[in-house]
Structure 1
Amino acid sequence: MRARPRRWLVPLLLCLSLAACGGAKEDEDTAKTSSGLTVSLAPAQYQPLARAAVVSGPVSAFEEMQLGVELSGQRVTALKVDVGQSVRKGQVLLELDHRTLDSELAQAEASLRQAQASLSLAQVSYERGAKLAAQQLISAGNLDELRATRVQAEAQTATARAGRDAAQLRRDFAELRAPADGVISKRLVQAGQVVSAGTELLRLIRDGRLEWRAELPEEQLATVAVGNTVELPYGGQTITGRIRAVSPGVDAQTRTGTVYADLPEPGALKPGVFVEGRILTGAGRALMVPSAAVVQRDGHSYVFTMKDAQTVQRKRVRTGQTSQGKVEILEGLKEGERVVAEGAGFLGDGDRVRAVSAQAAENKTP
């Protein structure tokens, strides 16, 4: 005969099963708490901050002069400078074929001497006639003719002098001279080339003077003033400049304006170099947190604060400039709020953590 199962065993087994599940859940919660990431906290605090606008821009010549000749159809016979050479004002940079011009100048000088000789003769004749007329040895009409001859000789002399000056000017045009001190930055001509008037042949950086130009958004442009110091890190050194001018308005499309900084000692900088610079706009105070506290996700900046004793929450913030390992917080945090200073990159919103102060974390570091 088959034995019947005892009914009291069923409730007993059910209770044992529930007790086992409850114990497993408690063990899971305990493990989760004990396995929470240990993070350090630091408060958001107002601190002194040297205000600066960081922006990139090209190095350019302060004034670059395009040089050419004023004669057409002449051949370059001598090119006396090359790119990178320093020149002085008045120095001959190139020469054109001037044989025809020399001949024209010689003819003009000969014509002037001939006119001057005629003037001298007319002057002497008039003076002699004036004396004779005073003694009534010649008529007044004869004296008038002598006076007219002298005036005509003076006019011919003036015409000849103007012709000589024009020939001399054309001869001078055969030599291209530096209009100012500077550095040759470009050469677009070769010896033997036939050139035209107005064509650019050489380019000169006046006084070798360079400047840095940068486009700033309208918010930053409002903080920059003439006289602000500019620091340009380049080639292992920092080139210092000063803001010379700030554009009075902004572009209607890009909403940016231009600043111009003089570089009295450009060092290794060359025209065309694109370099990032810091424009020091003054000192102030800013709400700062450690740089490691700010994480970038989905194109935005976030920090993690404590939601309760064991849970973190993610907050979106707007950051400003960085200085000495700390980041300026413009929006999203209040003074005194504690943020995760180390370990923020491994966290997600709602994660459980074990928090210690930043000072305690430093003390534990060997």
Structure 2
Amino acid sequence: MRAVVPRWLAVIVVCSWLAACGGAKDEPAAAVGASGLAVSLAPAQSQPLARNVLVSGPVSAFEEMQLGVELSGQRVTALRVDVGQAVSRGQVLLELDHRTLDSELAQADASLKQAQASLTLAQVNYERGAKLAATQLVSASSLDELRATRVQAEAQVATARAARDAAQLRRDFAELRAPADGIISKRLVQPGQVVAAGSELLRLIRDGRLEWRAELPEEQLSAVTVGDSVELPYAGGTVAGRIRAVSPGVDAQTRTGTIYADLPEPGALKPGVYVEGRIVTGAGRALMVPSAAIVQRDGHSYVLTMKDKQTVQRLRVRTGQTAQGRIEIVEGLKEGQQVVAEGAGFLGDGDRVRVVPAAQQAGKATGNGTKQP
């Protein structure tokens, strides 16, 4: 007896077979869609590059003068400047008690006048005696005595003048004057203080001139020459300078040398500020790739290139300067070689990828960035 298959069961079987066939056709497309991360490529290109050295260092006074007095045991009676004040050469900065010195100077002046009067009298007596000796009214021995008296009076005048000059010098020491134009950078004295000779009382930045100093390793020091320009970013602006001097040697222990850069217009920079500077050492060409193409692993730099149409391989490179979103490749790549520019950080050696145009990859990244859960 023949078995009869219900119509509804036959319909189910046929639909299941058709569904299976349709799914088999969609599997390759789905497999292709999931074949790897979408990436974009960029070539390594030779481009002009301004050669520079980045290094940090302090801003210092070009010449900072420590000022003091040459008298001991004197009290400060007047302090005429303060920190940050600009002064000119010869300006009085502070005064010491000079009453005793004034008295000594007056006494020395009186002694000098007395000696000059004695010299005048001795000169007149000698001239009169010389006239009388010509008519033999005065003996030669008397004339010799008059001559000796005159010479003695001249010596006394010289001694009195020297004593007077010494008293004047001590009086001048009671006033501390600026040895040059500049800016007072430090004050270590107060009015009424009794000071000692040679102790530092004030500090002066000569001409208000500042410079930037930095320590460079020996391999970078050799690239810097006198006259190279310097750029110091600070307080939202850039202070320009120029290398004034480069140390002729390096320290035996640290293996570094010092560079000195003049800052004609320091702006907001102050002595003691520590800033990073860029020393422009010249111009040239360099092999450049996008900065996003560099992957840091285990302390080394790598880029990813295409091993074939769907697989990437990792190459170790040595990098140099960075400029405008691109980085220099010193070693490890050839010009024109394609590297993964977007998505390199998510890939490893041998991963499968899909190469898409850079614009499409950027649009996709932007879209993904706006769809946050």
Q: Considering the TM-score relative to the shorter chain, is it more than 0.5? A: yes
Number of the residue aligned with 2:275 = 275
- State the 1:298 CA deviation: 2.4
- State the 1:31 CA deviation: 4.3
Number of the residue aligned with 2:229 = 229
Mapping 1:27-38, distance limit 5 Å: 31=31, 34-38=34-38
- State the 1:312 CA deviation: 1.5
> What secondary structure, in the 3-state scheme, does the structure 2 residue paired with 1:318 have?
strand
Number of the residue aligned with 1:7 = none
| Distance in 2 between residues matched to 1:358 and 1:297, nearest whole Å | 24
TM-score, with normalisation over the residues of structure 2?
0.88
- State the 1:105 CA deviation: 0.7
Number of the residue aligned with 1:43 = 43
Number of the residue aligned with 1:318 = 318
The answer to whether the 8 Å contact 2:342/2:361 transfers is no
Q: What is the CA deviation profile of residues 86-117 of structure 1, one whole-angstrom value per residue up to 9, with x for unaligned ones?
A: 00000000011111111111111111111011
| Distance in 2 between residues matched to 1:178 and 1:191, nearest whole Å | 18
| Distance in 1 between residues matched to 2:184 and 2:299, nearest whole Å | 46
Mapping 1:326-341, distance limit 5 Å: 326-341=326-341
Number of the residue aligned with 2:131 = 131
How large is the Cα RMSD of the aligned pairs?
2.0
Mapping 1:20-169, distance limit 5 Å: 31=31, 34-169=34-169
The answer to whether the 8 Å contact 2:67/2:204 transfers is yes
The answer to whether the 8 Å contact 1:42/1:357 transfers is no
Number of the residue aligned with 1:172 = 172
Number of the residue aligned with 1:358 = 358
> What secondary structure, in the 3-state scheme, does the structure 2 residue paired with 1:75 have?
strand
The answer to whether the 8 Å contact 2:232/2:239 transfers is yes
- State the 1:226 CA deviation: 1.0
Q: What is the CA deviation profile of residues 37-79 of structure 1, one whole-angstrom value per residue up to 9, with x for unaligned ones?
A: 1111111111111111111111110000000000111111111
Q: What is the CA deviation profile of residues 122-167 of structure 1, one whole-angstrom value per residue up to 9, with x for unaligned ones?
A: 0000000000000110000000000000000000110000000000
The answer to whether the 8 Å contact 2:116/2:157 transfers is yes
| Distance in 2 between residues matched to 1:31 and 1:222, nearest whole Å | 57
- State the 1:356 CA deviation: 2.8
Tell me the percent identity. Answer: 83
Q: What is the CA deviation profile of residues 15-34 of structure 1, one whole-angstrom value per residue up to 9, with x for unaligned ones?
A: xxxxxxxxxxxx79x74872
| Distance in 2 between residues matched to 1:296 and 1:113, nearest whole Å | 89
- State the 1:35 CA deviation: 4.4
The answer to whether the 8 Å contact 1:33/1:352 transfers is no
| Distance in 2 between residues matched to 1:74 and 1:100, nearest whole Å | 10
The answer to whether the 8 Å contact 1:294/1:303 transfers is yes
> What secondary structure, in the 3-state scheme, does the structure 2 residue paired with 1:70 have?
coil
- Identify the range of structure 1 (313-322 vs 42-51) with the bigger mean alpha-carbon deviation: 313-322
Matched, 1:260 2:264: no
List alignment gaps of at least 5 residues for structure 1: 1-26
| Distance in 2 between residues matched to 1:219 and 1:302, nearest whole Å | 24
The answer to whether the 8 Å contact 2:76/2:190 transfers is yes
The answer to whether the 8 Å contact 1:213/1:261 transfers is yes
- Identify the range of structure 1 (161-170 vs 33-42) with the bigger mean alpha-carbon deviation: 33-42
| Distance in 2 between residues matched to 1:150 and 1:299, nearest whole Å | 94
List alignment gaps of at least 5 residues for structure 2: 1-26, 368-373
Mapping 1:155-304, distance limit 5 Å: 155-304=155-304
| Distance in 2 between residues matched to 1:35 and 1:352, nearest whole Å | 7
> What secondary structure, in the 3-state scheme, does the structure 1 residue paired with 2:356 have?
strand
Count residues with an aligned counterpart.
Answer: 341
| Distance in 1 between residues matched to 2:163 and 2:320, nearest whole Å | 71
TM-score, with normalisation over the residues of structure 1?
0.89
> What secondary structure, in the 3-state scheme, does the structure 1 residue paired with 2:82 have?
coil
> What secondary structure, in the 3-state scheme, does the structure 1 residue paired with 2:58 have?
strand
Tell me: CA distance 1:32–1:75, structure 2 relative to 1, closer, same or farther (3 Å): farther
> What secondary structure, in the 3-state scheme, does the structure 2 residue paired with 1:240 have?
strand
- Identify the range of structure 1 (263-272 vs 297-306) with the bigger mean alpha-carbon deviation: 297-306
Q: What is the CA deviation profile of residues 240-275 of structure 1, one whole-angstrom value per residue up to 9, with x for unaligned ones?
A: 111111111112222211111111110000001111
- State the 1:349 CA deviation: 2.0
The answer to whether the 8 Å contact 2:93/2:176 transfers is yes
